[in-house]
Structure formats: C-alpha cells, structure tokens
Structure 1
Amino acid sequence: MELFSDLNIMCPKAGQEDVYYKLCLQLGYRTIAFNHVIDMSQALVKNQLKLPKCNLKKCDDLQVLHRITLVCSDPSHLRALKNPQLKKFDIIALSPKSEELLSQSISNFPNSFQILSLDFTQKLPFRLKHTHLHPCKLNNVVFEICYVSAIKDSSSCRNTVSNSKDLNWSSRGRGFIISSGAEDPLFLRGPYDVINLVTLFGIEFKSAKAAISTNCEIVFLKGLTRTQTFNGILQKNELATIEDSIIAFPKQLILTETSEQPSLSKKLKTVL
C-alpha cells in the first residue's frame, strides 16, 4: 500500500486545521506538511531572522509536519540556512530567484535544506540543466511541482505545464515531488487525481506516483539527519541510566560472581 503525502499546504489559522485533517484523510493522504512562506528581504530585521511559531493541533491518524519556505533574492539570504532556529521545522524549502542563487545554494548549503521550490507560475529566467540536477541528486535535494497553479487560471497553467515538462525532461522523471500548494481546502485533490492531472504535463504514471509517495521519503529522511545528526554523520543519543540498564539486562546473561566481588550479585538480585 502506497503512503501518499502532500508536503505543501499553506499554514491555516489556529483552529481551522481540523478541516484539512478530515479532508486529507478522506482523500487518502497519510502525511501532510503545513508551509510558512517567508520573504527573506522582509524577514531579516537588523540581520536577525524572525520566524513564525508552530502552534497547530496534532492529529492521531495523520502525520503532520511543519515546513518553511525561504524566498531568497540575494546571496546574503542564504546564510540564514545556518540559523539554529530552523531546527524546529521538519522541512526546509528554498525558493531562489536567480540561477546564481540556485547554484550557490546547491554547492555551499546542500545539507541545510531538502526542497527546491521554484516559482513555476512564471516563466523561469533560466533553464534547468544537468549541472543543477546532478548535485541535487547526490545531496538528496528534490525539486517541487505544485499543481494548484495549473487549475487556477490559464496563464499560470501554461507556465506550470511548460516548466514541469522541462524539469521532467532534465531529470528523466526522477528527483522531484508533487504537492498542492493549496491555500484553501477546495483546491486539494486526491492522490490519483493528482497523478492523472500531471500526466497531462508529460510526466509518466510511474514517475508521478513516486513523486507523491516514495520520493517524499527522501525529504523525511534528510529532515531527520538535518535535525538529529551532525552533517549527516554523527548522531547524539541519550544514554540510559545505570539503574535502567540493570533492569533491562536479561537475567540469564548475569554471570556468577567471583570471589573478589561478592557484593555485585547481591545488588543485582535486589534490583531484579
């Protein structure tokens, strides 16, 4: 059974999330992400980044993640990816406005974000190339296609279809996810409706299905390595106390004491 995900739903107001929870469960989603879009040119005040709070009610039957999308228009904005405050978000997406920023983000900050979310509603000022996509594949960074812009108006639909075709051709049908970008529950569609829709973009059924299921696992796993490891190599785990270790230790593995340490088994017997 496929576990479908929608990793880009605009964050609702407090108290309105139950509408999304009920609808997403009915449509067949098991993981969703509420997204905060931050324009870095306005969020940086005296070189300090102001971030929104994540105070949303949880859902027992649905995995709810918190996402932030940083819209960058200047190379200095990329330094915010090292801000420790971003660790409270499960997913970090980047929306660069130029090819230079796209190249710098991939080469200098590959482990600091998971998604590249370009504005497909407008004609891109550059063409996606293999030099962009290959480093992303090596660093588990995925591109994003939002389908809501394709059902709003004709001009956005035209640009979304054209940019999606370029991305699909450059990536050979791999390395991207498909999400909604919905600002209202009325724009949400079921997983197989989304698959049928993006096949009109020239994306094959198999690639479209992977883009809302298995490809999203890349985002989850990289999010765990970003928040719980050091550069994806070292992980810090809390050690259990001595008393917990003794209680959890199997009785059959406890050896008989030597003559030099007669008090060790007595202590174990009192604990067990």
Structure 2
Amino acid sequence: MSVGFSDLNLRPANKADVRSLCLAALEAGFKTVAVNTEVDANVFAKKGKKGETDGSKIIPEPLDLDILKKELDGRLQILQRLTVQIADSLQAHKLFQSNAVMKYDILAVQPLNPQAFQHACASMDVDIVSFDATDCAPLKAARKVVRQARERGVYFEAQYWPLVSSSATRRNTIAIMHSLHAVGRGRALVVLTSGAAAPNHLRSPYDVANLALLLGLSEESAKNCMRHATRNVLLNAQARRMGKGMVFGQVTRPVNDKIVEENGIPPTKRRKKDSSASQQVSAAG
C-alpha cells in the first residue's frame, strides 16, 4: 500500500466544504486525506425511546462522498475518519454498540481526562488517540500507558494547525507532544495531521516538516509521520475492520526451473533436453 504524503484529519464544517478542502490538500502535495466526522461526548447522554441511552444510534453515518471520489480518482485518495470524545470506559463500551463505527476507514478517540486516556491506550480497539488542544489541559501520560499503546499499534495524533491558530493551543500542543516524547523515550508512535477546517489552514508537507520542529520532531521524522506512519495507521485500520484472515500462496513456476536457471541453463532448454532424452529411451524400448 503506497499512500504518499497523507493528511488524516480534515475537519470541514459541513459537507459543502469537503471539496474545497480536498482540492487544497491535493494542491499542497498530499496524496491521501481523511475527512473527519467528530462526535461530542454529550451524545452518550441522549435517551432512547425507553428512557435508556441508545448506544446503537449515537454515531452518524459517514458522508456520501462517492461523486467527489470519482472526480479525484487517481489523483487523491479520500478516506473517512471518525473521532469520538470519551470521558470514561462506559462511553467507550457504548461506542462499539453502533454499527456505523465499522463503516469508517479510521477510528480515533479523544480522551477528556487521564482515566479515559489510559483506557484508550490499554484497551480500546482504535487506530488513533487524539488530543483537543483548544479546551483541555495537557494529559499526563504514564510510561506504562504509552508503552501499551505502542505495543498495540495505537498512534498518537499531533496536529499542526493548533500551533499557528492561537498561543493557548500552541502551548497545549507543544506540552502534550513533549510529554509523550519524554515518557515514551522517543519511541511513541506519532502521526502528524493538520486538523484543518478551511483550505487556508493547510500547509505543504515540507512546510509542515519545518513547523514540526516545535513538537520535538526532526525534519525527517516529521516526513515519516506524514508518510510511513500514516501508511501503518491505514494498514492497522484495515486489519481492525476486516478481522483475522488467512493468506494463501501458490508457486507459479516449478522450483526445479529456478534452480536450473540459477546454474546458468535456461529452463526451456532443460525441458527440451529432458524431452529428447525421454523420446530416445522410448525408441530404444
């Protein structure tokens, strides 16, 4: 799977803004993007017909982007991402009661407190753990929790738009990422995204690589966070959605032919020689 430079977090305010964001990402140099649908933690408090929380309908259906995908086919791969805020393990459990969750290509959660952060890293079957730098204090990360996330292939999201949007979000984002680097000893899995809500929020991958120096990432590491890390996220997400499977292989050329070819004798000549020898034996009989 080759995805090129990827931005796995475009945040359009409505469906009408999706096209302009995708075109801006394409012009900036990205080959793969994910359109993000965000769900607030308050939805878990909604009541069903019987007065109970309706866990099966808290997640909206993905946007219908078939027309846009056909328009940009071959130039830009468009995926769908779901990001859900969670405050406790009960909300995390209710999240997976919704059938719509599996319709998204990428699943991310945004913990609102240290307890939810620990649960997401250690137990939840998600692809990305995100942070909201606009209205929550930096989460205190424990070394064990970060290690558990790495062992499970869960990536942490670093967004660059909060770095330039305001001083408060810049301070929170830098603090969160430096905490992850320190606790994870530089081995935390990180994916770098924009979090862009408008086309003018986007930057080219090379500009982002320079901007990521504020997050403690080298230029090369930042490029890997937009290329190789995003590829791993997509592979892990595909495995999560498809479940366990089996791969079957088939030999397309006889092994003897390969050995003969390595010894300098083309397989076709060897087969002709063997065929002639068989005919001589038959005639002698």
The bucket for the TM-score relative to the shorter chain is 0.7 to 0.9
Q: Deviations over 1:9-68 (max 9, x none)?
A: 113533433322322111110010011110132254432233223212312111111011
User: How far does residue 102 in structure 1 lie from its aligned partner after superposition?
Assistant: 1.8
**SS of equivalent residue, structure 2 residue 85:** strand
**SS of equivalent residue, structure 2 residue 15:** coil
Residue 92 (1) aligns with residue 107 (2):
yes
Larger-Rg structure: 2
RMSD: 2.3
What is the match of residue 205 of structure 2? Answer: 191
* Aligned-partner Cα distance in 1 for 2:180–2:210: 18
Contact 1:228 1:236 in 2 (8 A): no
Q: Of the candidates 234, 237, 244, which is equivalent to residue 245 of structure 2? A: 234
What is the match of residue 68 of structure 1? Answer: 82
What is the match of residue 102 of structure 1? Answer: 117
Residue 55 (1) aligns with residue 69 (2):
no
Residue 224 (1) aligns with residue 238 (2):
yes
| Stretches of structure 1 lacking an aligned partner (at least 5 in a row) | 238-272
User: How far does residue 236 in structure 1 lie from its aligned partner after superposition?
Assistant: 11
User: How far does residue 2 in structure 1 lie from its aligned partner after superposition?
Assistant: 8.1
* Most deviating of 43-52 and 126-135: 43-52
Residue 40 (1) aligns with residue 46 (2):
no
User: How far does residue 123 in structure 1 lie from its aligned partner after superposition?
Assistant: 6.0
User: How far does residue 205 in structure 1 lie from its aligned partner after superposition?
Assistant: 1.8
* Aligned-partner Cα distance in 2 for 1:123–1:198: 21
What is the match of residue 261 of structure 2? Answer: none
Contact 2:128 2:156 in 1 (8 A): yes
**SS of equivalent residue, structure 1 residue 16:** helix
Name the aligned partner's letter for residue 32 of structure 2. T
Contact 1:123 1:163 in 2 (8 A): no
Percent identical pairs in the alignment equals 26
**Runs of 4+ that moved beyond 6 A:** none
* Aligned-partner Cα distance in 2 for 1:121–1:128: 18
User: How far does residue 218 in structure 1 lie from its aligned partner after superposition?
Assistant: 1.6
Name the aligned partner's letter for residue 59 of structure 2. L
Q: Of the candidates 166, 174, 177, which is equivalent to residue 191 of structure 2? A: 177
Residue 201 (1) aligns with residue 212 (2):
no
Using a 3 Å threshold, how does the CA distance of structure 1 residues 97 and 191 change in structure 2: closer, same or farther? same
Contact 2:3 2:31 in 1 (8 A): no
| Stretches of structure 2 lacking an aligned partner (at least 5 in a row) | 249-285
- TM-score using structure 1 length: 0.78
Using a 3 Å threshold, how does the CA distance of structure 1 residues 81 and 226 change in structure 2: closer, same or farther? farther
Contact 2:178 2:215 in 1 (8 A): yes
Using a 3 Å threshold, how does the CA distance of structure 1 residues 210 and 174 change in structure 2: closer, same or farther? farther
Q: Deviations over 1:67-90 (max 9, x none)?
A: 111101132101134233211000
What is the match of residue 7 of structure 1? Answer: 8
Q: Deviations over 1:96-139 (max 9, x none)?
A: 11221122233332xx2100002234564642222111111111
Residue 141 (1) aligns with residue 141 (2):
no
Name the aligned partner's letter for residue 171 of structure 2. R
